């Protein structure tokens, strides 16, 4: 199976090169793992007279009676009269006439297969797939024909579907040994078919049932080895890296908890804090992902954990993806801890040198307990006396590399808490963050009114404006957000400015004050406008998505999203999360034109129907697929060959559970019964491309 593909009969150096560059098919095994993406039924034969406007693929038996070349000003074509005894039809070629005339035999029975064209009630078959009936009878065991993905480059080198079928068959006819990769135990317990049977039937299914079994087995296997890798990584990591033990519940924690906690914790918050405290007592390094919808109250969880760190003699680093967010965290933490003797500083790109020096010094001396900031905190110059805990907000903007940078900031890596407000469906989290433990705050603080959401067409804009006036009259503030998408940046700014002007005409000064904020403004100007809005000096904030993440203005009661059809679901959800932070009823208005794609309709409908971030994430996953959902963070998990995180979620769970069971008793896969698993696993690890990017 490891034989280079160039040695397969029918593959010369040229085809081998294309197979490698286009499909990463380097070996026989790779070729067998190039699975068909669909199958067509070739069990049925049609008669020409019965065809009736059928435009799907059909299969016929007949003879070519004659060839006729037709030259037209639009190009030439070759037409063959094809007879099945009952009637006649045309087979047509627009290319390769010479070769076809020389190679196809007149008056010999052929099996013709292809799609039909209809013109004036007469069928013809362009570029049919033709095989002599005698050959066809010899060759086919399977009545379902595999269809392989194709590309122009592949076709240009003769790697069309027929060739693929031939090549894959060749591997089987050559009798290349196919090793089992799972244990007997797994095969028996889960009623899986053997690897060999699965590979054969995925290409040439004997029947539908075997095809399903083959798919099931291969999907399970694909998930299983990924989970095996992720879980081993996690277990080994826990064994290898010691973690600080925070076993003291000290003065600061107790004092804060008893005297300064501004509200009762929700059950979900309590549950998560318990999970974290358990981690901190084990002596292993915590790597935990904290998921919680916008407004679910992650900050207080972070703060309580910080206090544990401080009471045990450790410093904390808290990083956020943007300066605005870092500042907001800084203000929130400072306010919460105002009555305690704890020092907090903010470090961002715009921190002045003088202040920076003081911060660096205090950190090194241990006079500073909490450092909050942006990427700046990760820099090598930032040296802690005793960092014990690191919080990373908004995981998806930081790479794995940055997370591991944190690990190096102390002799023993600090505990890590990754917080994200973009809910990730469980199945996806299980795969992409399979090496992290996951906590979820699945409950909003009490009294929170859910944001009423409506979809309005642009033609109803005036009604929406009228509604905004009513809200402003109640003393509330309003966001109006415009999309900003890189490629069409100029257009987007024009939209924003046009929108701003039309708002200014409707909401006139001095009664109404409007702020504007966009990415082309200087940071100071942005800050100034933001501050005006925060202080309530302006009623409306017109902005591009720069306000997307994190800002907290409880008095804002309406979020108007312009061209809402252009936003992704998670972005819409994030934006909506900017309102509904106070006690008043809040609203989200999704504005759009009348022409909407099917996906856009689903997105807008979903937003109107639910405010549950996890439900929204599930829909998003279905619409966009895992690769897009995770953005640039491409990981091996997302390049699945056959399994699908959404459709095969139950197999994913099963594979994780089985992998866990096996590793529990046999971490290094040393037991004889797991030897096939071990061999396959080692080969995959060596073939590290698939694995290297897993976070």
Task: Using the minimum distance from each CB to ligand ADP, give the nearer residue, 323 or 393.
Answer: 393
Strands, DSSP E only, in 595-668? Answer: none
Provide the minimum distance between the beta carbon of 292 and ligand ADP in the complex, in angstroms, as a whole number.
Answer: 5
Residue closer to ligand ADP, measured from CB, 243 or 297: 297
The residue of the chain with the least Cβ separation from ligand ADP equals 297
439 touches 290 (CB < 8 A): yes
Binding site for ligand ADP (CB under 6 A): 263-266, 269, 292, 294-300, 421, 445
Q: Smallest distance, Å, CB 296 to ligand ADP?
A: 4
Q: Measured from the CB atom, is 62 or 423 closer to ligand ADP?
A: 423
Structure tokens at 253: 């924690």
* CA separation for the pair 407, 417 (Å, rounded): 12
> Which of 483, 540, 484, 533 is CA-nearest to residue 511?
540
Q: How far is the CB of 297 from ligand ADP (least distance, A)?
A: 3
Q: How far is the CB of 451 from ligand ADP (least distance, A)?
A: 14
SS3 state at 61: strand
- Find the shortest distance in angstroms from Cβ 612 to ligand ADP: 14
How many Å apart are CA 168 and CA 29, to the nearest integer?
Answer: 10
Q: In 272-282, which positions are buried (b, 16+ CB within 10 angstroms) versus exposed (e)?
A: bbebbbebbee
- In whole angstroms, the minimum distance from the beta carbon of 536 to ligand ADP comes to 17
Structure token pair of residue 566: 């252009």
Spatial distance between the Cα atoms of 88 and 548, rounded to a whole number of angstroms: 65
Least Å distance, CB 421 to ligand ADP, is 5
- Residue 10 CB-density burial (10 A; 0-12 exposed, 13-18 middle, 19+ buried): exposed
Phi then psi dihedrals of residue 480, to 5 deg = -125, 115
Output the smallest distance, CB 479 to ligand ADP, in A: 16
Closer residue to ligand ADP in complex, CB, 292/499: 292
Phi, psi at 282, each rounded to 5°: -80, -20
Task: In angstroms, give the least distance from the CB of 369 to ligand ADP.
Answer: 20
Q: Which is nearer to ligand ADP, 199 or 569 (CB)?
A: 569
Specify the DSSP element, H or E, that contains 217. Answer: helix 208-240
* Cβ closest to ligand ADP, residue 264 vs residue 379: 264
Look-up of token digits 């934006």: 575
Least distance from ligand ADP to the Cβ atom of residue 294, Å: 5
Q: At its nearest, how many Å lie between ligand ADP and the CB of residue 285?
A: 24
Residue 669 half-sphere exposure toward CB, CA atoms < 13 A: 19
CA distance 27 to 19: 10
Query: Least distance from C-beta 539 to ligand ADP, angstroms?
Result: 22
CA dist 345 and 343 (Å) reads 7
**Helices (DSSP H) in 450-488: which residue ranges?**
461-473
Smallest separation, CB 298 to ligand ADP (Å):
3
- In angstroms, the CA 129 to CA 440 distance is 55
* CB closer to ligand ADP out of 63 and 288: 288
CB closer to ligand ADP out of 260 and 457: 260
CB 236 within 8 A of CB 264: no
Please, which residue, 159 or 300, has the CB nearer to ligand ADP?
300
* Cβ closest to ligand ADP, residue 266 vs residue 545: 266
Q: Which is nearer to ligand ADP, 11 or 324 (CB)?
A: 324
Q: How far apart are CA 680 and CA 179, in angstroms?
A: 9
Q: How many CB atoms lie within 10 A of CB 180?
A: 15
Choice between 112 and 549, CB closer to ligand ADP:
549
Q: Where are the alpha helices (DSSP H) in 322-399?
A: 323-336, 353-365
Distance CA 517, CA 121 (A): 62
Q: Is 439 exposed, middle or buried (0-12, 13-18, 19+ CB in 10 A)?
A: buried
Q: Where are the alpha helices (DSSP H) in 507-610?
A: 523-534, 569-576, 598-609
- Are the beta carbons of 1 and 179 closer than 8 angstroms? yes
Distance separating alpha carbons of residues 652 and 634, to the nearest angstrom: 19
Nearest-angstrom CA–CA distance, 113 and 126: 10
Least separation, in Å, of the C-beta of 419 and ligand ADP? 7
Q: Are 689 and 683 in contact (CB under 8 A)?
A: no
Residue-wise DSSP of 262-315: -SPPPHHHHHHHHHHHHHHHSSB--EEEEEE-TTS-HHHHHHHHHHHHHHTT-E
Q: Which is nearer to ligand ADP, 32 or 276 (CB)?
A: 276
Minimum distance of ligand ADP from residue 671's CB (angstroms): 45
Nearer to ligand ADP by Cβ, of 227 and 266: the residue is 266
Closer CB to ligand ADP, 114 or 321, in the complex: 321
Contact 159, 168 (CB under 8 A): no
């Amino acid at each position: 199976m490891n034989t280079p593909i160039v040695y397969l009969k029918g593959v010369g150096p040229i085809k081998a090169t294309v197979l490698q560059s286009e499909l990463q098919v380097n070996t026989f095994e790779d070729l067998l793992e190039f699975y068909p993406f669909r199958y067509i039924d070739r069990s049925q034969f049609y008669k020409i007279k019965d065809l009736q406007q059928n435009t799907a693929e059909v299969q016929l038996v007949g003879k070519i009676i004659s060839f006729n070349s037709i030259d037209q000003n639009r190009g030439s074509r070759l037409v063959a009269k094809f007879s099945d005894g009952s009637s006649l039809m045309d087979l047509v070629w627009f290319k390769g006439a010479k070769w076809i005339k020389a190679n196809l035999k007149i008056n010999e029975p052929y099996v013709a297969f292809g799609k039909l064209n209809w013109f004036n009630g007469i069928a013809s078959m362009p570029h049919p797939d033709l095989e002599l009936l005698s050959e066809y009878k010899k060759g086919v065991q399977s009545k379902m024909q595999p269809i392989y993905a194709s590309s122009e480059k592949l076709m240009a080198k003769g790697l069309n579907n027929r060739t693929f079928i031939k090549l894959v068959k060749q591997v089987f006819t050559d009798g290349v040994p196919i090793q089992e990769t799972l244990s007997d135990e797994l095969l028996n317990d889960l009623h899986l078919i053997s690897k060999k049977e699965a590979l054969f039937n995925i290409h040439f299914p004997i029947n539908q049932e075997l095809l399903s079994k083959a798919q099931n087995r291969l999907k399970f296997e694909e998930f299983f080895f990924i989970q095996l890798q992720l879980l081993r990584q996690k277990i080994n990591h826990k064994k290898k890296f010691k973690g600080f033990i925070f076993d003291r519940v000290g003065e600061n924690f107790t004092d804060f908890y008893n005297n300064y906690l501004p509200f009762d914790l929700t059950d979900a918050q309590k549950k998560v804090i318990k999970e974290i405290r358990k981690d901190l007592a084990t002596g292993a390094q915590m790597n935990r992902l904290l998921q919680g919808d916008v407004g679910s109250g992650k900050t207080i969880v972070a703060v309580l954990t910080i206090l544990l760190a401080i009471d045990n003699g450790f410093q904390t680093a808290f990083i956020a993806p943007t300066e605005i967010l870092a500042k907001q965290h800084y203000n929130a933490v400072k306010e919460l801890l105002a009555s305690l003797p704890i020092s907090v500083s903010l470090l961002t790109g715009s921190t002045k040198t003088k202040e920076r020096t003081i911060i660096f010094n205090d950190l090194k001396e241990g006079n500073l307990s909490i450092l909050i900031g942006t990427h700046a905190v990760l820099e090598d110059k930032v040296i802690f006396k005793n960092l014990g805990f690191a919080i990373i907000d908004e995981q998806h903007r930081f790479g794995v590399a940055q997370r591991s940078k944190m690990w190096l900031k102390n002799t023993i890596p600090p505990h890590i808490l990754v917080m994200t407000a973009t809910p990730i469906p469980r199945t996806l989290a299980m795969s992409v963050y399979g090496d992290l433990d996951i906590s979820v705050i699945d409950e909003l603080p009490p009294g929170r009114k859910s944001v009423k959401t409506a979809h309005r067409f642009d033609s109803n804009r005036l009604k929406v404006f009228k509604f905004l006036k009513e809200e402003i009259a109640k003393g509330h503030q309003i966001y109006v957000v415009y999309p900003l998408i890189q490629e069409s940046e100029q257009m987007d700014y024009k939209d924003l400015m046009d929108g701003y002007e039309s708002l200014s005409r409707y909401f006139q000064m001095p009664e109404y004050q409007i702020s504007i904020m966009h990415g082309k403004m200087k940071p100071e100007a942005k800050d100034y406008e933001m501050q005006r809005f925060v202080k309530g000096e302006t009623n409306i904030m017109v902005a591009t998505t720069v306000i997307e993440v994190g800002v907290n203005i409880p008095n804002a009661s309406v979020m108007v999203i312009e061209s809402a059809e252009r936003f992704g679901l998670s972005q819409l959800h994030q934006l909506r999360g900017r309102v509904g932070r106070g006690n008043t009823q809040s609203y989200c208005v999704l504005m759009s034109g009348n022409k909407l794609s099917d996906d856009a309709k689903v997105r807008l409908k979903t937003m109107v129907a639910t405010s549950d971030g996890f439900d929204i994430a599930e829909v998003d996953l279905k619409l966009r697929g895992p690769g897009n959902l995770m953005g640039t963070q491409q990981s091996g998990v997302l390049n699945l060959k056959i399994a699908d995180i959404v459709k095969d979620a139950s197999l994913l769970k099963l594979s994780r559970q089985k992998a866990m069971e096996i590793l529990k008793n046999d971490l290094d896969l040393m037991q004889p019964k797991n030897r096939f698993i071990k061999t396959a696993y080692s080969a995959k690890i060596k073939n590290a491309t698939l694995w290297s990017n897993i976070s």
